[in-house]
Structure 1
């Protein structure tokens, strides 16, 4: 029998302890990965379920919007207290809320261009109205004109900047170079990429802008336009022409059943004095077609916030885009 020295026994013990330590690390890593995998699977299931509840909310909202529009084809009013009112939606597990607003009452970023023979051309009227809106919100007029021009260049097809505008060369010089889109806006957040639009300007504009899927001047439903949305009415006129206090007062005096007639709306002395052009008068309407549904679904530890744009006409009402954001 071979004699084992104390040093050999120590080395053997050390080897065994090292192996145990390695196995412990492997076991801990495996357990950690299993836990992570289980958590990811659970979150994935929760997210999928939350999205299903969002789809259900969209279906409910679309049906109610159809009913709202069908109730009176001549005008869409605030009757029924539907605008901006948060509604709870009963779901088996967790909680869900939904809110609908008239998203047609906004500055349509795609009014900055018109389409001719498949080409997008900058619209002088669209730029002036964006400038007027920004001035009404407290932005310096020179800054506002530059932002409106850059936004029009972002959406038009050509490479020639309009006055005060910016095309590709202006973006190639950025720390991270990029190019202008040269197509209509797909989402209002795209405005953040436009030259001259900093965080402060975007934050100020965000509640007032939209990107509707049509290249037309903004159309406002004065039956649903709220007094606090007076800057949208002011944007129809040259910068600084309309007093916001007067605009708010006029909207606050709206009949509870709606105007019923655009003649009745424009007959007000404070508006008649501004001598609105036929083009401006054509931008005012009594009906709504675009609605924004905002949802929030809490399922387990997950909260899913979503937005869906619903178009009412032609029937049936349907979702044309949606976006989600989640907070765990």
Structure 2
């Protein structure tokens, strides 16, 4: 005897719905797995591109260090920009099969305001330096910042770096910063990167963007070692900065334009036009400008397909061979 079981239509519908649901779940799981695989592939490709860029940057640093030393050896008594090797972007050769393009720009690393110059002394015993504070305020005013705002930022910078807790007249020490919604303390040490000043009282993103091309954080608390032989015409405010309120912008531009083709042989030659007008600024300021550059900034941009790597290195050319002192990865 045989028994035939007949499914009801409702049961066949449930079975079909179960199959469709299972297929949908499998499709979703498969899509997620493919997304994860694609993400892993992209991450691996990005990591590979970053590694290639990092090694290319290291090679470019060595190449640039040798080229800087070669240029300095050609004129050891004075650093000059004959041929425009300073400030001129150059495409460096690279043959690793990746198709990467390395663009390197060498700049005089001392032609900027050294943020650490607002203090004097040794680590652990840093005190505010009035000359450096005044120069920072003067530079900001030359760039269009109001006098009160400029003085407040300059004093705040000195308080940020110095090792005491006595605020400058327009400055701010720990007492101010610890009252903020997200409290923090002043550094009490030299800056390692110019971006640190974004934590100062009164600093805004707009103001930092205006100041960023003009400032630097050299590893020593020295007055900004401006090289009068490598200054570009558009850097005339750095001459105004040396003696705030005493050197007009037009006069500063003229001092750059009238520079001998092979640069000034002595610092006294640079100051002579002002000395003839009975303008003197004291030995500390008059000895501040340089004719030989010690610090160089190397700006590297490595383009590989859609990937872009930006690195800025600071070189000490006083050492043999020239040595990398610091690196900054990413945009300023």
- TM superposition score category, shorter chain reference: over 0.9
How far apart are the structure 1 equivalents of 2:128 and 2:271?
29
- Once the 2 structures are TM-superposed, how far is the Cα of residue 226 of structure 1 from its aligned partner? 2.0
Choose the corresponding residue for 1:225, options 204, 228, 231.
231
Paired residue secondary structure (2:172): coil
Choose the corresponding residue for 1:15, options 4, 13, 18.
18
Choose the corresponding residue for 2:8, options 2, 5, 9.
5
Structure-2 change in CA distance of 1:248 and 1:117 (3 Å):
closer
- Once the 2 structures are TM-superposed, how far is the Cα of residue 294 of structure 1 from its aligned partner? 0.8
- Once the 2 structures are TM-superposed, how far is the Cα of residue 271 of structure 1 from its aligned partner? 6.9
- Once the 2 structures are TM-superposed, how far is the Cα of residue 325 of structure 1 from its aligned partner? 2.1
Partner in structure 2 of residue 49 of structure 1: 52
Higher alpha-carbon deviation: 276-285 or 167-176: 167-176
Higher alpha-carbon deviation: 86-95 or 126-135: 86-95
Partner in structure 2 of residue 63 of structure 1: 66
Paired residue secondary structure (1:195): coil
Structure-2 change in CA distance of 1:257 and 1:132 (3 Å):
same
Partner in structure 2 of residue 112 of structure 1: 118
Tell me if the contact between 2:267 and 2:287 (Cα under 8 Å) persists in the aligned partners. no
User: What is the aligned residue count?
Assistant: 325
Paired residue secondary structure (1:308): strand
Partner in structure 2 of residue 317 of structure 1: 322
- Cα deviation digits, residues 32-62 of structure 1 (max 9, x gap): 1101101111111111111111111111110
Partner in structure 1 of residue 86 of structure 2: 83
- Once the 2 structures are TM-superposed, how far is the Cα of residue 270 of structure 1 from its aligned partner? 6.2
Partner in structure 2 of residue 94 of structure 1: 100
Structure 1 stretches of at least 4 aligned residues deviating more than 4 Å after TM superposition: none
Partner in structure 2 of residue 140 of structure 1: 146
Choose the corresponding residue for 1:126, options 105, 121, 132.
132
- Once the 2 structures are TM-superposed, how far is the Cα of residue 292 of structure 1 from its aligned partner? 0.7
Partner in structure 1 of residue 292 of structure 2: 287
Q: Does 1:306 align with 2:311?
A: yes
Tell me if the contact between 1:226 and 1:252 (Cα under 8 Å) persists in the aligned partners. no
Partner in structure 2 of residue 166 of structure 1: 172
- Once the 2 structures are TM-superposed, how far is the Cα of residue 15 of structure 1 from its aligned partner? 1.1
Partner in structure 2 of residue 156 of structure 1: 162
Tell me if the contact between 1:293 and 1:310 (Cα under 8 Å) persists in the aligned partners. yes
How far apart are the structure 2 equivalents of 1:117 and 1:254?
38
Q: Within 5 A, what are the aligned runs for 1:169-248?
A: 169-237=175-243, 239-248=244-253
How far apart are the structure 1 equivalents of 2:325 and 2:56?
18
Paired residue secondary structure (1:256): coil
Unmatched 5+ residue regions in structure 2? none
Task: Tell me the C-alpha RMSD between the 2 structures.
Answer: 1.6
- Cα deviation digits, residues 272-293 of structure 1 (max 9, x gap): 5321211111101110011111
Q: TM-score, normalised by structure 2?
A: 0.93
- Once the 2 structures are TM-superposed, how far is the Cα of residue 192 of structure 1 from its aligned partner? 1.1
Structure-2 change in CA distance of 1:67 and 1:179 (3 Å):
same
Tell me if the contact between 1:88 and 1:97 (Cα under 8 Å) persists in the aligned partners. yes
Partner in structure 1 of residue 254 of structure 2: 249
Tell me if the contact between 1:246 and 1:270 (Cα under 8 Å) persists in the aligned partners. no
Q: TM-score, normalised by structure 1?
A: 0.94
